[in-house]
Amino acid sequence: MKQDSIHSGRVQKAPENFLTPSGVKEVFAEGKKGRRDFIRNAFAAAAAGAAAPMALSQGNPVPSEGGDPNILNLPEHATGLGQGVAVEGYGKPSQYEANLQRRQSPGLTQTTQASVSFAPLQSLFGIVTPSGLHFERHHQGWWDIDPSKHRFMINGMVKKNMVFTMDEIMRLPSVSRFHFIECGANTATEWGNVAVPTVQYTHGMISCSEFTGVPLITLLEMAGANLKNGKFVLAEGGDGSSMTRTIPMSLITSGEVIVAYGQNGEMLRPENGYPLRLVVPGVQGVSWVKYLRRVEVGDKPYAAKDEAIHYIDLMPNGLQRQYTNIQEIKSVVTTPSGGQVLLDKGFYNITGLAWSGKGKVKRVDVSTDGGRNWRQARLETPVLSKALTRFNLNWVWDGKPAIIQSRAQDETGHVQPTYQQLRAVRGTRSIYHNNAIQSWLVQENGEVKNVQLS
Ligand SMILES: Nc1nc2c(c(=O)[nH]1)N[C@H]1C(S)=C(S)[C@@H](COP(=O)(O)O)O[C@H]1N2
Ligand SMILES: [Mo]
């Protein structure tokens, strides 16, 4: 498979170096910015158990006790006058983080107007995706819509049709909730075989934000919706893709579905549906209709094009599964992951993300020997329903080849399947809903590769 330099580059080369934020290279292998990170990591490990701090220095170059010019000599920034508020206006990341970017996948057909960009999961911490790195999926391009002209309409099985302005929506009681959104096609490239090199491309069609908005049920009640016979709503977007999706009323009456205008403390980004999008927790991304302009209450599923022809799963017997809404239990190790390089044997913090469209993640186990032995990872707080959950595990790499996997379980008892288990039920011709266990091979030279176990 062809890899360009960004995807195959070793972490040492500057522009290709999109891996260091995960700490694989710098934190322990070099004294450079190591001290503070070392202390931070030691602190985290100490909290995890008495045996952990020993593992931290096991097999590692010990951070130096002194003599490093970078600590001996006061740098200019410690003695001179810093810049004034040059960032009056909207702040930007450090110039040294220029590699932290959404990217188009080398595994997809390259078109002049790209329609998917992937989030750099290998470089993110915690559970929130910075809004500027949120993955994007547009069926007909994105727009920056004037909110003063945007309208939201409710019709169908209601007492009266209603048309809201943004001002009218934003004065209503709001909620703010953390949820993941995952495109149903996330990890699609792995159905048949390994197709792309990094976690950005295998799993980067997922993001997690704090969304703010008005529960859809509030708006439906204002319109006097028939909640007894109105079993579904149709949600329609305001772009040229005629994106319409059927949402079961049960998800709406539970109060979970939000007509959202906020994302991570500010208005939605244009790419993500500004000024209004539907948030449908646990359900695949396509139902999170952007540029939301209308919902219609009805008594049966609408069989819109994006649910009758697209977003269906081809089964081994040739039949199609439709209305496969819920994103099932899934996880992935983000460090070490494909394309990264471990510079030396010794301690590493294995870290990753787990999520379930059915509720909270209950437990994540990690294997470093291809699934023979498993150790329970630490789940970091907060562990929220239908949100990304961060897990961590201490690991001492002995320098031999290792296959790293994670296996998550949710509060409903569902466990992430292996590829063999998934394919036994679903075959290999699907595009959507691949939640199988991902394997990363750490090779003797430290390079990490995307592999599948047969
Ligand atoms: N109006 C509209 N809504 C849309 C889409 C679209 O193209 N137009 N794409 C859908 C798909 S397939 C996905 S995965 C998510 C992507 O949301 P994002 O671009 O904010 O990541 O939006 C969904 N909602
Ligand atoms: Mo999607």
Q: How far apart are CA 179 and CA 124, in angstroms?
A: 16
184 ligand 1 Cβ < 6 A: no
Q: Residue 323: what pLDDT?
A: 83
Q: Residue 24: what pLDDT?
A: 52
Q: Residue 325: what pLDDT?
A: 87
Ligand having the closest approach to the CA of 131? 1
Report pTM. 0.88
Give residue 143 CA to ligand 2 midpoint distance, Å: 17
Per-residue pLDDT reduced to its tens digit, 34-76: 333 333 333 333 334 434 455 676 766 677 787 888 888 888 8
Q: Residue 63: what pLDDT?
A: 77
Q: How far apart are CA 258 and CA 304, in angstroms?
A: 21
Q: Residue 3: what pLDDT?
A: 32
Give the residues of the chain that fall short of pLDDT 50. 1-23, 25-52
- Residue 363, phi then psi, degrees to nearest 5: -165, 145
Per-residue pLDDT reduced to its tens digit, 101-132: 999 988 887 777 779 999 999 999 999 999 99
Q: Where are the domains of the chain?
A: 11-55+327-453, 131-321
Give residue 305 CA to ligand 2 midpoint distance, Å: 14
288 ligand 1 Cβ < 6 A: yes
Closest CA to 437 of 413, 414, 420, 424: 420
Q: Residue 87: what pLDDT?
A: 66
Q: Residue 59: what pLDDT?
A: 67
CATH of domain 131-321: 3.90.420.10
Give residue 335 CA to ligand 1 midpoint distance, Å: 28
204 ligand 1 Cβ < 6 A: no
3-state secondary structure 331-353: EEEEECCCCCECCCCEEEEEEEE
214 ligand 1 Cβ < 6 A: no
Fold of 11-55+327-453: Immunoglobulin-like (2.60.40)
Q: Residue 220: what pLDDT?
A: 98
Per-residue pLDDT reduced to its tens digit, 319-342: 888 888 899 999 999 999 999 999
Q: Taking phi first (over 0 means left), then psi (-120 to 50 degrees means alpha), and beta for anything else, what does residue 66 get?
A: left
